[in-house]
Amino acid sequence: MAFLLAGPAFAQLPPAQQVADQIRIGWNVGNTMEAICSETAWGNPAITQQLITSVKAAGFNAIRIPAAWDCHANQATQTIDAAWMARVKQVVDYAYNQDMYVVLNIHWDGGWLEEHPLYSYQVANNQKQRNYWTQIANTFRNYDQRVLFAGTNEVHANYDTPTTENNTVQQSYNQTFVDAVRATGGNNASRTLIVQTYNTNMQHGINFLNMPSDSIANRLMVEVHFYDPYNYTLDPAGSCLYWGSPYPPQSACSWAQESYVDSLFAQVRSKWVNNGIPVIIGEYGVAFRSGMSRPSREYYLEYINRAARVNGLKTFYWDNGVAEFALFNRSNGAVVDWGAIDAIKRGADPGQIIANGTYKVIARHSSKALDVSGGNTAEGANVVQWTYGGGNNQRWTFTHLGNNVYRITGVQSGKALEVASTSTANGTNVDIRTYTGANNQRWIISATSGGFYRLTPVSSTGSALDVAGVSSANGANVHQWAWTGGNNQQWAIQAP
Final residue before a domain boundary, out of 348, 377, 401: 348
Ranges 211-220, 322-331, 393-402: which has the least confidence: 393-402
Please name which of 485, 488, 453 lies closest in space to residue 470, comparing C-alpha atoms: 488
The band of 400, judged by pLDDT with boundaries at 50, 70 and 90, is: confident
The answer on 199 and 164 residing in a single domain is yes
Instruction: Quickly count: other Cβ atoms within 10 Å of residue 326's Cβ.
Output: 18
pLDDT of 6 over the 60 cut: no
The answer on 255 and 113 residing in a single domain is yes
Residue 10: inside a domain? no
Give the DSSP H or E segment for 307. helix 294-310
Residue 154: inside a domain? yes
The answer on 203 and 81 residing in a single domain is yes
Which residues, other chains included, contact 144 with Cβ-Cβ below 8 Å and sequence gap of 6+? 3, 5, 13, 187
pLDDT at residue 246, rounded to an integer: 80
pLDDT of 8 over the 60 cut: no
Q: Are 190 and 181 in contact (CB under 8 A)?
A: no
> Which residue is catalytic, options 114, 223, 283, 302?
283
pLDDT tens-digit map of 220-274:
999 999 999 999 999 999 999 999 888 877 677 889 998 899 999 999 999 999 9
Q: Is 436 left (phi over 0), alpha (psi -120 to 50) or beta?
A: alpha
Averaged pLDDT, 406-413: 96
Averaged pLDDT, 458-483: 96
The answer on 375 and 333 residing in a single domain is no
Q: How far is the C-alpha of 318 from the C-alpha of 341, rounded, in Å?
A: 12
Could you give the number of structural domains in the chain?
A: 2
The answer on 277 and 372 residing in a single domain is no
Final residue before a domain boundary, out of 348, 367, 387: 348
Q: Are 346 and 339 in contact (CB under 8 A)?
A: no
What phi and psi, each to the nearest 5 degrees, are found at residue 56?
-65, -40
The answer on 336 and 398 residing in a single domain is no
The answer on 279 and 376 residing in a single domain is no
Residue 407: inside a domain? yes
| 298 carries an active-site annotation | no
Q: How far is the C-alpha of 430 from the C-alpha of 1, rounded, in Å?
A: 57
Q: How far is the C-alpha of 103 from the C-alpha of 200, rounded, in Å?
A: 15
Final residue before a domain boundary, out of 293, 326, 348: 348
Averaged pLDDT, 40-66: 97
pLDDT at residue 104, rounded to an integer: 98
Residue 485: inside a domain? yes
Amino acid, single-letter form, for residue 176: T
The answer on 375 and 283 residing in a single domain is no
Q: β-strand 147-150 against 101-105: which pairing, if any?
A: parallel
Residue 8: inside a domain? no
The band of 111, judged by pLDDT with boundaries at 50, 70 and 90, is: very high
pLDDT tens-digit map of 120-147:
999 999 999 999 999 999 999 999 999 9
> Which residue is catalytic, options 114, 154, 223, 418?
154
Mean of pLDDT over the chain: 94
Name which residue leads in pLDDT, 360 or 352: 360
Please name which of 258, 237, 247 lies closest in space to residue 324, comparing C-alpha atoms: 237
pLDDT of 31 over the 50 cut: yes
The answer on 74 and 215 residing in a single domain is yes
pTM for the structure as a whole: 0.76
pLDDT at residue 7, rounded to an integer: 37
pLDDT of 9 over the 70 cut: no
| CATH number, position 481 | 2.80.10.50
pLDDT at residue 1, rounded to an integer: 31
The answer on 379 and 291 residing in a single domain is no
pLDDT of 444 over the 90 cut: yes
Residue 226's domain comprises 16-348
